[in-house]
Chain A
Amino acid sequence: DAGITQSPRYKITETGRQVTLMCHQTWSHSYMFWYRQDLGHGLRLIYYSAAADITDKGEVPDGYVVSRSKTENFPLTLESATRSQTSVYFCASSDGGRGSEQYFGPGTRLTVT
């Protein structure tokens, strides 16, 4: 299906476990982004990528790792999950440049127990 998808949509994990959230887009957009959304904080940028093999930190990168070996995929890994990482995670993509809106995936609700 065309668009931007995320998997899993819901995940419960335990403290200390490694978790990977997947993001896939079919538009061949250059830019991809990971956000977390928490009550009282709004959407905060974790990492972003301008192209394959180019990634950069956002506002709240600690505890997360990203990679982008292919343009269409941008997985986010929590190396050792903590309760403070319980959140809704959104992936987004854009074709970049000035005046390019971001399109959001459906989100992954992650609970760390």
Chain B
Amino acid sequence: EDKVVQSPLSLVVHEGDTVTLNCSYEVTNFRSLLWYKQEKKAPTFLFMLTSSGIEKKSGRLSSILDKKELFSILNITATQTGDSAVYLCAVEGSGGSNYKLTFGKGTLLTVNP
């Protein structure tokens, strides 16, 4: 059974801080790892990672994957109150015949002014 564990479960920081969110996984036939941001609505896509060691970057957010150690991190620098959200990590495996995602429980990030 595929498994995704995120840590910490929640985090409170001040504006301007840098945060690192963690995601470890066990999956049959790994295909990709995805990060989503969820505010009080549907998850929105942030990154997809398929190769080890290649950083994906978008503004103040960046993410990297380590396929040997089976984990990924999501970094947010110079945090803003608008970064407050639940960050979800998901892995795509090819157990069985089809493509599907297994999600972690998420990290709740609160950024205080």
**Which A positions have Cβ atoms within 8 angstroms of B?**
31, 33, 35, 40-45, 48, 50, 56, 58-59, 90, 94, 96-107
Contact = CB atoms under 8 A, between A and B. Distances in A.
A42 B103 contact: yes
A98 B103 CA distance: 17
B98 A56 contact: yes
Given A40-B105, A43-B43, A107-B41, A98 B32 contact: yes
Nearest to A33: B100
Given A41-B105, A44-B103, A99-B50, A104 B98 contact: no
A31 B97 CA distance: 13
Nearest to A30: B99
A45 B31 CA distance: 18
Contact of A45 (B32, B44, B101, B104): B101
B19 interface: no
A106 B42 CA distance: 5
Contacts of B99: 31, 50, 94, 96-98, 100
A99 B94 CA distance: 12
Contacts of B92: 98
A42 B100 contact: no
Interface string B88-112: 1010100011111111111000000
Given A50-B98, A50-B99, A98-B92, 8 more contacts: A42-B103, A48-B98, A90-B42, A100-B99, A102-B34, A102-B45, A102-B101, A104-B42
B100 A58 contact: yes
Interface string B42-59: 111100101000000000
B57 to A, nearest CB: 17
B88 A42 contact: yes
A44 B50 CA distance: 22
